[in-house]
């Protein structure tokens, strides 16, 4: 199966359809009057669809088992066609379109099986996805201008041996993939005044975003949160919580990180862990969604 361990939970839904076409009005009348020998066609098929929605991963090898939290099955008779519509919702890391189409298919097959003694010319048609919502496709960010970012690596070791830096490069690559321009990638010692001055310089140079990596641990040598604390005018605790929550679900030690996020004037400051694993998790946790902040700020400036 495709690896989805790095994805975030979000509300997702999908609506699918299938059409059962019968060959005579007598079949439709028998369905309406509940005269089918095998039972109530609509109720039996609905029950089968509910089972199918929850067991899609048992049938389709590459589908992930997911918590199906809502399923609705509706019918609409139009002449000799019975339109089946299935809606499924979940809060999870992957979509439910296959579950919706699988359920619609099973509803249609159940109807076929129940009606075939009465009608030998039934067909199943147009099994398809009508709509899907949620996930990455619903949160495509379109910014009106290119953002400028600076990346600062706070590490005594990396400042002495720049070739050892991996975290700064990871951040830069991720931002570049999102269309953010990298003003600079700078490696400095983990010294409070150097961190503060370097960060302040980038803010004054017009950086929209300054990401610092390293120096957020608990040892006496970790100074980043304190160094940039006086620059931050507005903390953004929701982003900090998202980073910690995402990390802790994958690595228990993440609770010891002191990641800090806030605004320094119009510049977003983010102090992230220094390890490659920690910085990768932090970037996955909040990007690209955190960039929506700049659309909010733009609207705020125009008020």
- 113 classed as catalytic: yes
Q: Which of 84, 104, 81 is nearest to 27 (CA)?
A: 81
- Domain assignment present for residue 250? The answer is yes
Q: Which of 192, 188, 195 is nearest to 168 (CA)?
A: 188
Chain-centroid distance of CA 74 in Å reads 28
- What separation in angstroms does the CA of 120 have from each of 22, 80, 247, 268? 9, 14, 58, 67
- Domain assignment present for residue 3? The answer is no
- Domain assignment present for residue 259? The answer is yes
- Domain assignment present for residue 5? The answer is no
- Domain assignment present for residue 2? The answer is no
CATH number of domain containing 106: 3.30.70.640
Three-state DSSP state, 3 = coil
- Domain assignment present for residue 175? The answer is yes
Q: Are residues 291 and 157 in the same domain?
A: yes
Q: Are residues 91 and 195 in the same domain?
A: no
CATH number of domain containing 199: 3.40.980.10
- The helix (H) or strand (E) run that includes residue 109 is helix 97-115
Q: Is 170 exposed, middle or buried (0-12, 13-18, 19+ CB in 10 A)?
A: middle
Catalytic residue (choose from 81, 113, 156, 184): 113
Q: Tell me the β-bridge partners of 184.
A: 150
Q: Are residues 26 and 123 in the same domain?
A: yes
Q: Are residues 152 and 39 in the same domain?
A: no
Domain count, the chain: 2
Token representation of residue 284 = 């996955």
Q: Are residues 253 and 274 in the same domain?
A: yes
Q: Is 180 exposed, middle or buried (0-12, 13-18, 19+ CB in 10 A)?
A: buried
- pLDDT per position in the chain (303 positions), as tens? 899 888 888 899 999 999 999 999 999 999 999 999 999 999 999 999 999 999 999 999 999 999 999 999 999 999 999 999 999 999 999 999 999 999 999 999 999 999 999 999 999 999 999 999 987 666 566 777 899 999 999 999 999 999 999 999 999 999 999 999 999 999 999 999 999 999 999 999 999 999 999 988 888 778 899 999 999 999 999 999 999 999 988 888 888 889 999 999 999 999 999 999 999 999 999 999 899 998 887 655 544
Q: Are residues 152 and 100 in the same domain?
A: no
Using omega within 30 degrees of 0 as the cis cutoff, is the peptide bond preceding 42 cis?
no
Q: Are residues 184 and 154 in the same domain?
A: yes
Token representation of residue 125 = 């048609």
Beta strands 70-78 and 10-21 are unpaired
Q: Are residues 155 and 292 in the same domain?
A: yes
Q: Are residues 127 and 171 in the same domain?
A: no
Three-state DSSP state, 164 = helix
Domain that holds residue 121: 10-138
Among 138, 168, 189, the domain boundary falls at 138
Three-state DSSP state, 222 = coil
Q: Which of 130, 90, 88, 124 is nearest to 105 (CA)?
A: 124
Q: Are residues 197 and 277 in the same domain?
A: yes
Q: Are residues 22 and 51 in the same domain?
A: yes
Cα gap 254→231, rounded to integer Å: 25
- What separation in angstroms does the CA of 293 have from each of 71, 220, 265? 34, 33, 13
- Domain assignment present for residue 52? The answer is yes
Among 86, 118, 138, the domain boundary falls at 138
Contact 123, 243 (CB under 8 A): no
- φ and ψ at residue 217, rounded to 5 degrees: -80, -160
């Amino acid at each position: 199966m495709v690896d989805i361990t790095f994805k975030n939970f979000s509300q997702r839904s999908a609506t699918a359809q299938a059409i059962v076409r019968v060959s005579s009005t007598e079949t439709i009348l028998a369905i309406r009057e509940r005269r089918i020998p095998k039972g109530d066609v609509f109720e039996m098929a609905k029950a089968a669809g509910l089972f199918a929605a929850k067991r899609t991963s048992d049938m389709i090898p590459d589908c992930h088992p997911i918590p199906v939290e809502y399923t609705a099955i509706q019918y609409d008779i139009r002449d000799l066609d019975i339109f089946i519509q299935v809606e499924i919702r979940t809060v999870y890391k992957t979509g439910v379109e296959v579950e919706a189409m699988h359920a619609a298919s099973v509803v249609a097959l159940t109807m076929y099986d129940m009606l075939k003694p009465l009608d030998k010319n039934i067909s199943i048609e147009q099994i398809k996805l009508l709509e899907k919502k949620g996930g990455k496709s619903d949160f495509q960010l379109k910014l009106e201008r290119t953002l400028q970012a600076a990346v600062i690596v706070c590490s005594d070791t990396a400042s002495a041996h720049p070739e050892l830096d991996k975290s700064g490069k990871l951040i830069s690559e991720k931002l570049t993939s999102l269309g953010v321009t990298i003003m600079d990638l700078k490696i400095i010692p983990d010294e409070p005044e150097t961190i503060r001055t370097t960060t302040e310089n980038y803010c004054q140079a017009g950086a929209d975003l300054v990401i610092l990596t390293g120096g957020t641990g608990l040892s006496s040598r970790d100074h980043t949160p304190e160094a940039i604390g006086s620059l931050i005018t507005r903390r953004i605790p929701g982003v900090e919580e998202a980073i910690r929550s995402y990390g802790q679900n994958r690595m228990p030690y993440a609770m010891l990180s002191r990641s800090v996020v806030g605004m320094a004037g119009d510049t977003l400051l983010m102090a992230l862990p220094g390890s490659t694993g920690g910085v990768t998790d932090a970037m996955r946790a909040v990007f690209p969604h955190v960039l929506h902040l700049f659309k909010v700020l733009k609207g705020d400036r125009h008020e």
